[in-house]
Amino acid sequence: MNDPQRAEAPAGASARSWFGALTAVLNVAGTLLIIVMALAVNADIIGRELFSRPIAGVTEFLGLSIVAVVFLQMSNTLREGRHVKNDLIMAWVAIRWPRVARFFYGLFHLIGALLMSLIVWYVVPIFRENYAGNFYKGTQGVVEIPVWPFMLVVLVGGAAVAIQYLLLAQGEFRQLAGRER
């Protein structure tokens, strides 16, 4: 049995290929945001140490960006089978009863999709409120970072993770039914 976490599409499954490309783009965006965060931190440190002037808004930007990075990179991490997991018992079950393991992995993925969908559902009204109310982090007149773009990232990233979980569940149940490999 190959890595049960990996949802590689059978040949010709363009929807999965397209979605895989989307998760890769989100992952790259998360990596670029990490680079911007590192540059901001270093510039802030240099400003503090050399000029006794920190850069306004760096702390607020980092606080918002950390959550954004997680949601930008999670779907690709899950797709590639690199998500943190403790499957000691399931690995043992997979050796003895591979079909039982497939069923449980499929069930776990459905639960993951449900939980991530609940997060997205919960964040939608928060996003709307932040967008309509023009909420920001920072000090008015000094630095104002709008919150809604970061909430939008949580929505898009969370939806991508939920879809990825569904694709993983579909792959497990298709293999369980004997429809793939």
Domain range for 69: 14-176
Q: Give me the DSSP letters along 83-139.
A: S----HHHHHHHHH-HHHHHHHHHHHHHHHHHHHHHHHHHHHHHHHHHHHHT-EEEE
Q: Is residue 2 part of a domain?
A: no
What's the pTM?
0.85
Instruction: Please check the confidence at residue 11 and state whether its pLDDT lies above 50.
Output: no
Q: What does the pLDDT average to over 129-142?
A: 91
Domain count across the chain = 1
Q: Is residue 9 part of a domain?
A: no
Q: Is residue 104 part of a domain?
A: yes
Q: Is residue 142 part of a domain?
A: yes
Q: Is residue 129 part of a domain?
A: yes
Residue that is written with structure tokens 């997979």 in the block = 94
Residue range 159-168, pLDDT digits in tens: 999 999 999 9
Instruction: Please check the confidence at residue 61 and state whether its pLDDT lies above 80.
Output: yes
pLDDT given at position 12? 38
CA 34 to chain centre: 14
Q: Is residue 3 part of a domain?
A: no
Q: Is residue 7 part of a domain?
A: no
Q: What does the pLDDT average to over 31-48?
A: 97
Q: Is residue 59 part of a domain?
A: yes
pLDDT given at position 8? 53
Residue range 64-80, pLDDT digits in tens: 999 999 999 999 999 99
